[in-house]
Structure 1
């Protein structure tokens, strides 16, 4: 059994199956998937990861009850470092969070949220064998638009000359040239599409790429490369790391590079993986990582 098959086997505990889960708290629903199974295919070692970064999640439909049966509903934000061994499988997280729906916690709303926050933090940290940060957001939370200075990659496309024929990840599309001047580049691609490993349902998102280099990546070639993900079957986090690795391979080792993917919510959850070289100085990404802030691209929750 190869690594892809092993990953799919682990992920298929809930994916692709009719499952209502439980409406009473059940941490056994959580499924952790080893990151290394995909990383090995792209020469990424857990012992020497070529990037820093986080996986940021927003669950928009968290709900529970107080001891008196009063409903409590919030947006849940969670974050954990990409240098840990595991990622959480998204349907398992959805079923796990749904298991709070009819469970009762605390004498009032604040007490219920505090109890649930501690439970979720403990369960996820134990499952992923890493520190997981958790917070509940409400409409009064600080909301920030990020990546506003990024340029749409499609502005660089010549529709008369471009021809994209491969829709499996094709790094050979990527082209760059050496220049005499180091420049910063802020690029956005709003047509990122890949597919769920198990159900093959499409996942859509926006990719944001910042790099600072003497090299210039041909923007049309980057559009072709990102478009080649349309028939790939991977987790969101894996796609982000694949894109990072391929771009890093054509840049110089000391060039700054950041890749962030903001995926459209599915099943009430969105996943926002971000990866960057440790020498990268792009402070806007910090807003995405702040646990008391909701940050996204030009939209609010």
Structure 2
């Protein structure tokens, strides 16, 4: 599959919504281009990870033409060569609106095939049907929240130089913030999120970390790219031996994106949405 660039995506453009199945709507983008900006080599990723997407507006027709609805969870490996641009993802999901499917299992299998081809790696798909909706949970990210720190802020661009840690004090802790905001790489629309940072290593200066996270406020990058930038900057500046960065962004167009990157944990936490999602 050819590598496409963000400016050629449907973002920021007027498009017609297709309501019949059309996998060609998916727009994959090579991850490596942005990873090169932060000095990450494709053959030696400093993290493992996954991008957890939740599709809240999934609908299709059963064999008799009756509409069905579900909440889908998509897990795309961070090691996949391509991410999928979110508007194209939404357009693709909408193409099922008037498409008849034999069963929910057939739908999940078809979604997995198309998304795996677009991403270049196996994508896991699960679909919750209405009887399971009542079990959906709301839970905030783990960690001690930094947001009440009384700090002055005058920089709203990523600045890893502000990060610092005390090498004389080794700790294991989880810190979090709800003040993460970045902007879409193409349209500049705001992306709102929360982030949790779990680490073992020299104690990170909390005020410095909060200033750094707030520094994404006017930064244009996709969700996945922001989380990888945070991971790499903290790893280089603070030298933790273990590090996990997990962000949950509020939904747009019925989709949320929740990137998770770690150099020591085997799997992300459950896909439990926050109150803002």
1:182-193 correspondence to structure 2 within 5 Å? 182-193=170-181
SS of 1:287's equivalent in the other structure is: coil
User: Among residues 3, 8, 14, which one is paired with 2:10 in the alignment?
Assistant: 14
Offset, 1:17: 0.6
Offset, 1:83: 0.9
Deviation by residue 1:13-32 (Cα, 9 ceiling, x = unmatched)? 21001112311111110010
- In structure 1, what is the equivalent of residue 111 of structure 2? 120
2:136 matches 1:153: no
TM-score by length of 2: 0.92
Offset, 1:137: 1.4
- In structure 1, what is the equivalent of residue 158 of structure 2? 169
Q: Given that residues 33 and 87 in structure 1 are in contact (C-alpha distance below 8 angstroms), is that contact kept between their aligned partners in structure 2?
A: yes
Offset, 1:252: 2.9
- In structure 1, what is the equivalent of residue 81 of structure 2? 85
Q: Distance in 1 between matches of 2:276 and 2:218?
A: 30
1:189-268 correspondence to structure 2 within 5 Å? 189-213=177-201, 215-252=202-239, 255-268=241-254
SS of 1:25's equivalent in the other structure is: coil
SS of 1:100's equivalent in the other structure is: coil
User: Among residues 287, 292, 297, which one is paired with 2:270 in the alignment?
Assistant: 287
Deviation by residue 1:35-93 (Cα, 9 ceiling, x = unmatched)? 01100010001100000110100010000111211110000111021011100100000
Q: Distance in 2 between matches of 1:64 and 1:95?
A: 14
Which 5+ residue runs of structure 1 have no aligned equivalent?
Answer: 1-5, 289-294
User: Among residues 127, 130, 134, which one is paired with 2:121 in the alignment?
Assistant: 130
2:93 matches 1:97: yes
SS of 2:203's equivalent in the other structure is: strand
SS of 1:77's equivalent in the other structure is: strand
1:144/1:212 CA distance change after superposition, 3 Å: farther
RMSD: 2.0
1:53/1:178 CA distance change after superposition, 3 Å: same
1:252/1:168 CA distance change after superposition, 3 Å: closer
SS of 2:221's equivalent in the other structure is: coil
Which 5+ residue runs of structure 2 have no aligned equivalent?
Answer: none
Q: Distance in 2 between matches of 1:216 and 1:84?
A: 32
Q: Distance in 2 between matches of 1:63 and 1:98?
A: 8
User: Among residues 247, 250, 255, which one is paired with 1:269 in the alignment?
Assistant: 255
Deviation by residue 1:91-144 (Cα, 9 ceiling, x = unmatched)? 0000000000011122xxxx2x12211111111111111101001013526545
Offset, 1:229: 0.5
